[in-house]
Structures are given as structure tokens and as C-alpha cells.
Structure 1
């Protein structure tokens, strides 16, 4: 889950904080009838963007969506393997094109309407028939990444749709037909962006009435104040002034009810301030713990949960914005100029590794034999000279502010280290710092006015295509190149049904990518989240798919 294309979330009022503290003080062994703590406040680094998961691609929006909504399939708790969720089983026919999903019975949306096969098809047909602004990559990015085009695609750059049709074969059976065999299906249906929404709520709150322009999108009420799913928590309010999203327990939930009644996501953009809020008891958890804070927090008795590294930070190189960057020698010079080990050693937590390609080593298709660009300033200078830039080169370098990502624990610090490395090799950078959402994400994923930028990805499911295919399987403004031969290789790999053969195709693709060098892979880091001393029951997920319905105060 990435932040690409991404472009709103949270602060609890003083009254709520005081009420929570009072509840904690009142609960004691001498007073068994005293009220228990009923609110978990989780501190997040940035605001959510939108509450309709089909429009979301940023981590904070998806974090909220995971508590309100459910998908047909989901990652296993604490892992990446795909398991049933609202679907109890999912089987293909002999062609691999027609998938039958058996559904849980007795499930209700938060508005009391039935979840069934008709609801499944309503959601799929809604996404497939998006038009106008809904086809903007900033609105329906995950649909486009996974399914490609629409029923009537309005851009010639969109490929044919992977989705063909959905049919209800009884209340508990949905039949989904796709147009080609792919590694993405059904695994990608675990993405929160493909959550099941109430058809009634979608119609009542005019969910598809997106307004504004491609540069300044405005969202309808469903996406800002009326999201309706089937999950263990339901939406209560979103205070965009104080930056807090409030959820409350769904007492009609079809599974195990949430153990804590209220769940709030509060934006505290400064990492040190999040730590202080936890220690003061103002919040009961936060994400993306600073590497240097892990052991001190553990020593104080806080519950630090370390996720397995399932991510990538990269330096993207936009070949269309500056003619110099279209030259392979210049891209190679940039790669040789960066001291990646220094970045990992100084800015990442223990267990982090230098990246040599664009996905983690745990995925089939990882290739140890790719071209490696060791730190070598002299070689970087000679490559620049060979490209005609012996006297140096000036590049625009974007980096984000007001954010911490699992793959990017200290954006400004990492930017400064890379800038110094580039300067030593003869490349001067013009720093451009922008607020993460929407300014930074808009700037670096669209248009030509960017040369270098930092971005990354946390995997959505356990397949290499989810990383390298998301980045490089078709032309994108972020990278600014068009390579039909490379795109054809991706198509072949994605459509290979044999997993072992597919892994070999991914290995070949990784080798090709590191020769072509569209950007520089930097690091893989195991990010941490921390919970209060008395909060237990949450499992860390490599996909950042933590489920807070299992949390409880002890």
C-alpha cells in the first residue's frame, strides 16, 4: 500500500481525554462496579484522505477503512497469506476465468441491510462503471492498478478491464468473471479498496457524485461522513478541524464483537509529540515508532510490536521532466552516488536491510544476481562526464513533510543524506518540500515538474507483481518513461498460471529493471507500532493490516 497517487484523520477533545483518564482512575479492585476503559485512542502521523475505501490509496485512509469495512478475502491475521473473509470459499473453473464465491450468511451492513451476492455485484458494477472524475487515477487508483480500465474507459492510456461481469447465483453465491488469468486475482480483493459497501447507503448518500477538478477533487457525503460497511466498528464522526476520526463498536457484528467500545484515530504529525502523548496517557498507541525509541519504550513496559519488513523505499527518477535523466549513464551515476548502507545504519531500525531491487527478498522472484550499484563516488563522476555533465548537473528533488511512512521513517533526514551524497558526485539538488497529502503526492505522481523524489510501498499481498507490477507494468507519470517491451514482459508474467514459472519470469524482470534503472531502490525496514502498557490483543501485520477489534485493556 503505497502512498503513490495518494494525496485526512484526528484529535480527541480535552473533554474526551479527561473522561478517559477519569475512567481509568475509577476502575480499581476495590470498586468492581466502576466503569471500564471504553476508548482506545491511536495516534497517527497524518490525516486520512477519504472514508470511501474505493477512493483510498493512502495508508491512513485504509487504516480507518479496515475497521469499518470487510472484503471478500483478507490477509491472515499477522501475515500476508490470503484467507476467507466475507466469502467462505472462492474457486475458479477450469479456465481460471470464472470464480465462484460462496458468501457468509446472516451478515448485515451497519444500516441493517443484508450483505449478499446482489450487494457484491452492486459494488463491482459500481467500480467498473466509474466515469468522469471517478476515472482519475487519484480517485480510483487501486481499481486501475488491479483491474485496469472501465466499462467505458475515457483515457486511451487505460488498458482493457480485467473485470468482465458479476452475477448473483442465489443470495450466498456470487460468480465473478475476469478477462484473463492473473496473479492479482483473487489475492488483490483483500485490499481495503475493494471493501463491500452498503448499496443502500451508496445510493442514499450519492457516493459517486465526486466534484471539483482532477487537481482539486471534492468528495460526496458517503466518503466524508456516511461510510457503511459490515465491520466490527461503525463510523461515528470525523472532526476535520481537530483531526480525529471516531468509530464505535458494531454491536450487531456477525463475528466476535470488538472488545473496546470506541476507537479513535487522532492525527499527531510530529513523531516526538506522539511519543509524549503515549507516555502522558493521552493516546494508547501510535504507529511508526522512531528506531531510537524502540528499546526505551520497551524498557518502560510499553508493548512495542515489530512488523516484518514488507516494504521498499526508493528514489524515483522522472525521465520525462529532464532530458538528462533519460540518459542511462546519469541514472547509473545517481545510483552509484548514494551510500545506502549509511542511510540504513543511521535512520532505520535494527533488522533493516539495503535494497538491491524493488521488492523484499521474501517474495518469489527475488533475484540476487541483479545489477548492483555499489557506493562509488569516483564512478558516479565518470558516468556523469561520459553523459556530457562533467561540470555537474542540477536536479529538482522533492521530499515530503508532515509524514512518517513504514518504509520512510525520517523523510527530511533521508533527503539530506542523499542530497549530500549527490553533491559529492557533482549533482546539485534544488530541494522542494511539500506537505504529504495532497501536495506532495499530487506533485510526484502526476505531470513533469519533478526530477527526483522519495516514495515507497508496503505490500498489499504476497506476490512480486504487487510491487514491481504496480510501479512499472505500464506508463506512469511518476517515472516518465514508455517501454512497451518491458510492459509486455510484465503482462506475460502476470498471466502465467504456474507459480514456479511465474517466479522465474519475475526474476528476469528484476534483472531487466535493474539494468534499465528507472529509480534507485534504497531500503527495506521493519516498522514498529506501540501500544500502552495495559493494551493487548493486537497482532502486528506486515501489510499494516492491524485489527483493533481484538484489542483490550488488561
Structure 2
């Protein structure tokens, strides 16, 4: 069950779609800020010097050892990665490396570093500093190899120089070499589809080697699972760490005057832990300037009051899972196609999802290279569904067990019961009788789906970890699973082939072919991409929503 959960949701974040610079009109409440209109250019600096953002519990501020989204939201402002996701998107773009490339074998990545970059402690960024970080992660001691500490490294690179457990795989990382002060070369043991996108993960942000040494970053403090460095990170980002008041549950950052890029607009940035149920009122009362994961039912009302509700580009896929092992009828392609034709997916998106949701044509979002608009679309056609059922020998009807969860919401699954009811009504109209079985999310529902012995149909979702199509396809269909109960050796071989190609340009046409193949085979039916959202104060502008929750708070300002 634990493996199932790790596979399904991004370890540190979830989330979502087109992000544009926000320049919306608004009037202020308690803070008496002047209004800004869509035609007003944002000022170069902010009229206020402190931004307070509410969030969940903070775990640790060493990004290499922090798999949770809330802690990494903070470290993203303090530390930077060699490669970063493009603003508002997921495609890899230059970060601390102004250029990056892979050799013909797909196993050696070369990064040319930006000149003039310094860490917050005054030391210079160079290739040796980059390699010190990669070597540190590769050589982490047994005490720091637990899966909930180094989840990102294990997901991307596998194991370590000396694995503390037999369950850890051989490492994909081979070496890091400083060819000269400005050129770092990272060698892998094999080509992989993970790169360059996985280099954008905040867990692979570059820390000051001096700070790592001085704070004994590889030695947990007595009585703690973590080293001291997790309390005081030092990076190259637009904000530098100031303090972490654990009693008050807040972290304060300050604009770094020596930043190599565009300076932060707001001088002080505070991340404050606030319980989810209290954040909306705190925003209305002027105690905070924004918060994340806005409840779908609150979005419209907040927007109508003048607050800026930023919908992220959706970076997930809800699907209707089909278990071919549990019911012989579902092993017939005509039956699976009938199910797909029976569903009015556009109505599902319109009635069960908040604004910004999109119908899913592929198993990954459109913003990733390899998305194929030419796949079998299965437009809503109940008459076609009935024809296919008759051709498969089920003209007199078919009865299926449909499991769905309760007491859970996800961006891709905002209201499981409503989604089930809409789908069940469509299926019944096409001649497929549905026995709905509602279960507690954990452990009952997760066990049912992961074991694949009791269900015919089920609702589930996948969220990407980084901007690569294989991260979606591989999570779902790289090997036989009890969830879907199907074996397709040729499909598995093609997925293994694309995963072994190091050049992203060469992978793209293969992804397009795989998307077409998956929609022909239909181990599941992709339904929707569901967005989440964050909300900002009425006169707080300039923040671009990111599908990877990679928002850059340095661009935000009060006007």
C-alpha cells in the first residue's frame, strides 16, 4: 500500500496550468493600498516591504532531505537548481546553468554555469560547488537514506555510493566532474528519460559547500533525524534565510542584495503555518497576504471580493481504471471502448470540476512534449457504446462493480461521489449496470485498488513529479500491475525503450506513438486534468502560478 501511495502522488507537491502574470483590478480592505488596474504597469518596487504567506507545517529546510511541498516552497526562494522549469510551465530551462546539453550516449550532461553568481555567505558558485552537492547526495550516510528523507534522490537516481538496505537500487548517478570553474559534467550509469527535467526538482538545489561543511550537513543532530543545516540553508536565490521561529511556526526570509538576477520586489517574505480551515478568514482579516490550495467552493466568492485567485496549470490526470483480470468482459477491447464512448467527459469536467479543468485526451497534460492530439478521442456516443457491447456479446447488458473513495479530495478528484454518480449515470444509459461501492480512502480503498481482486472499475489519479511525459506513463503502465490486470509485453517494451533514450528531442515522437497506443488499448480511460489554486491579497500582483508549485515570490509586489 505504501508503494502505491508513493507512486500516485508527487512526493513534494501537486499542481497545475497556463499561468500568466496577474494584473487584476482590486480595492483594498484594511491595508489601504491604492488600486491597480489591468492597464497599470506594475511598479519597479513594492509599496510594502513584508509579504506573509500562509501554509502548512514546515518539516526541514534542507531541500535534499525534505520531501514535503510546504518546506520546499520556502527553499525554492533561497536555493536554486542548475535547470529550472520555465515560468508558468514545466519544460526545463536554464537556471544556475546558462546552458546544458547531453552527449550522444545520453549519459553525460554538461552544464555551463552563469558567471558572477555568489552564495548568500559570499562564496562563489563554481563547478566544484556543484559537484560538492552531487557528491554529498550520492554519499549520504545510512542514517539519511530512509525513503521519507531522501525520497527525491531515490526516485530519480535510485541508490547511493553505499546502500544501507538491499531494497535500494544501484545508483543512476556515476560521477560529477568540474572540467573547469564554469563547467560541471554529470555522468550517469545509463541514459534515462528523467533528464533534464528531473534536474529541476527543488531537492537538487545547490547549497553553499562552505555552509554544508560548517553545519555538518551529513551528520544528524543528537535527538533529531536531521543535520543542523536543515535549520539554516544557504543558497544563491533572490531571498536569503533569516530565521525559523519554531514556536511561532514561521520562517522569515529577506531579499538578497547580491542576487545575480532581478532583485526581489518585496523586502521581507514570511511563511507562516496556519491551519487549513483558518486561512480564508485570516486573509479576509488582513492577517496574511495569501495562501495555497484554496477550496474549490471558495474560489468564486474570493474572486468576486477582489482577491486574486490564481489557477495553476493542471499537472495531473484523473482516470477511470479498468481491471481486466477481475472480469473477463473487461479483457475484451470492445467492452473497454464501449465504456469510453459511454462517458460524457466534457459534462464531467463542466459539472464536477472548478474553473481551469480540462478534458484529458492523453494520460499526461498538454503542456508536456509528446502530448498527442490525434489519439482516439472517444467522443460521447452512447449509441456507439451499445453497438460495441452487442458486438462483444453483451447486448442484453453488463454489470460492473465500481469502487470509489470517500473522505478524500485531490485536485484531480475534487468530489469523488459526484464524479462517480455522473459516470454511473452515463454507463447505465449505455446498458452497463453499475454497482457502486464507496470505501474509506485509507486503508480500504487503497488496498482494493492495489490488490486488484475485488473491483472492475475505479477512480484514481496520477500527478507528475517533473516535466517529462514518461513520469506519467511510467508511473502507470511501465509494467504489469494488479490495478489494471493486463499484460502487454510490446507496450512494456516500448516504454522501456523510450525511458532509455537520453535525448529529449528523440523521445518526443515515441511519446506521441505511445499515447496513441494507450488510447487504443485502453487499460484505463483518461478523464480530466484538475487544477488547484492559490489566492493573493487584492493588491498583491506579479506572481506567476506554476504547474509544479514552483512560484517565484521574488516577482510579487504590492501596488
TM-score of the pair, normalised by structure 2: 0.73
**1:38 alignment counterpart:** 49
Q: 1:491 aligned to 2:499?
A: no
**1:263 alignment counterpart:** 270
Query: Deviations along 1:439-497, whole A, 9 cap, x unmatched?
Result: 99998999999975644325632x42233234443578987888765443123223446
Alignment gaps of 5+ in structure 2 = 1-5, 14-27, 35-45
Q: Is the 8 A contact 2:131 2:184 kept in 1?
A: yes
**1:32 alignment counterpart:** none
The 1-side partners of 2:141 and 2:339 are apart by 40
Q: Is the alpha carbon distance of 1:59 and 1:417 closer, same or farther for their aligned partners in structure 2, counting shifts above 3 Å?
A: farther
**1:67 alignment counterpart:** 77
Q: Is the 8 A contact 2:323 2:483 kept in 1?
A: yes
The counterpart of 2:439, out of the listed 431, 446, 455, is: 431
The secondary structure found in structure 2 opposite 1:51 is coil
The secondary structure found in structure 2 opposite 1:188 is helix
Q: Is the alpha carbon distance of 1:399 and 1:126 closer, same or farther for their aligned partners in structure 2, counting shifts above 3 Å?
A: farther
The 1-side partners of 2:226 and 2:545 are apart by 33
**1:464 alignment counterpart:** 469
Correspondence 1:190-209 to 2 at 5 A: 190-203=200-213, 205=215, 207-208=217-218
The 2-side partners of 1:130 and 1:474 are apart by 30
Q: 1:343 aligned to 2:348?
A: yes
**2:37 alignment counterpart:** none
**1:4 alignment counterpart:** 9
Alignment gaps of 5+ in structure 1 = 9-20, 28-34, 212-217
Q: Is the 8 A contact 2:81 2:96 kept in 1?
A: yes
The 2-side partners of 1:226 and 1:105 are apart by 25
Q: Is the 8 A contact 1:40 1:263 kept in 2?
A: yes
513-522 or 77-86, larger mean C-alpha shift: 513-522
The secondary structure found in structure 2 opposite 1:426 is strand
The secondary structure found in structure 1 opposite 2:526 is strand
Q: Is the alpha carbon distance of 1:156 and 1:96 closer, same or farther for their aligned partners in structure 2, counting shifts above 3 Å?
A: same
The 2-side partners of 1:77 and 1:268 are apart by 29
The counterpart of 1:231, out of the listed 227, 230, 237, is: 237
The 2-side partners of 1:56 and 1:445 are apart by 28
The counterpart of 1:550, out of the listed 540, 543, 555, is: 555
The 2-side partners of 1:236 and 1:326 are apart by 62
The secondary structure found in structure 2 opposite 1:169 is strand
Q: Is the 8 A contact 1:284 1:532 kept in 2?
A: yes
Q: Is the alpha carbon distance of 1:5 and 1:404 closer, same or farther for their aligned partners in structure 2, counting shifts above 3 Å?
A: closer
52-61 or 121-130, larger mean C-alpha shift: 52-61
Query: Deviations along 1:417-454, whole A, 9 cap, x unmatched?
Result: 668889984334242145xxxx9999899999997564
The secondary structure found in structure 2 opposite 1:493 is helix
The 2-side partners of 1:243 and 1:478 are apart by 40
The 2-side partners of 1:356 and 1:501 are apart by 22
Q: Is the alpha carbon distance of 1:70 and 1:291 closer, same or farther for their aligned partners in structure 2, counting shifts above 3 Å?
A: same
CA displacement at 1:360 relative to structure 2? 1.8
Query: Deviations along 1:319-356, whole A, 9 cap, x unmatched?
Result: 9xx96699646994987786644431123234422223
The counterpart of 1:473, out of the listed 478, 496, 511, is: 478
The counterpart of 1:531, out of the listed 526, 530, 536, is: 536
290-299 or 77-86, larger mean C-alpha shift: 290-299
Correspondence 1:327-406 to 2 at 5 A: 328=331, 332=336, 340-367=345-372, 368-370=374-376, 372=378, 393=401, 395=403, 397-398=404-405, 401=408, 405=411
Q: Is the alpha carbon distance of 1:365 and 1:537 closer, same or farther for their aligned partners in structure 2, counting shifts above 3 Å?
A: closer
Q: Is the 8 A contact 1:378 1:425 kept in 2?
A: no
CA displacement at 1:413 relative to structure 2? 5.6
The 2-side partners of 1:374 and 1:364 are apart by 27
**1:215 alignment counterpart:** none
Q: Is the 8 A contact 1:68 1:234 kept in 2?
A: yes
Query: Deviations along 1:242-288, whole A, 9 cap, x unmatched?
Result: 65444333344343332221232444424xx5443323222212334
The secondary structure found in structure 2 opposite 1:168 is strand
Query: Deviations along 1:510-549, whole A, 9 cap, x unmatched?
Result: 2443455554433124544332122122223343321001
Q: Is the alpha carbon distance of 1:177 and 1:189 closer, same or farther for their aligned partners in structure 2, counting shifts above 3 Å?
A: same
Q: Is the 8 A contact 1:42 1:286 kept in 2?
A: yes
The 2-side partners of 1:311 and 1:535 are apart by 28
Correspondence 1:104-119 to 2 at 5 A: 104-119=114-129
The higher relative CO (CA closer than 8 Å, separation ≥ 6) is in 2
TM-score of the pair, normalised by structure 1: 0.74
The 2-side partners of 1:156 and 1:482 are apart by 28
Q: Is the alpha carbon distance of 1:226 and 1:473 closer, same or farther for their aligned partners in structure 2, counting shifts above 3 Å?
A: farther
184-193 or 132-141, larger mean C-alpha shift: 132-141
Q: Is the 8 A contact 1:399 1:440 kept in 2?
A: no
Q: Is the alpha carbon distance of 1:302 and 1:495 closer, same or farther for their aligned partners in structure 2, counting shifts above 3 Å?
A: same
CA displacement at 1:165 relative to structure 2? 1.0
Q: Is the alpha carbon distance of 1:497 and 1:116 closer, same or farther for their aligned partners in structure 2, counting shifts above 3 Å?
A: closer
Q: Is the 8 A contact 1:317 1:325 kept in 2?
A: no
Q: 1:164 aligned to 2:169?
A: no
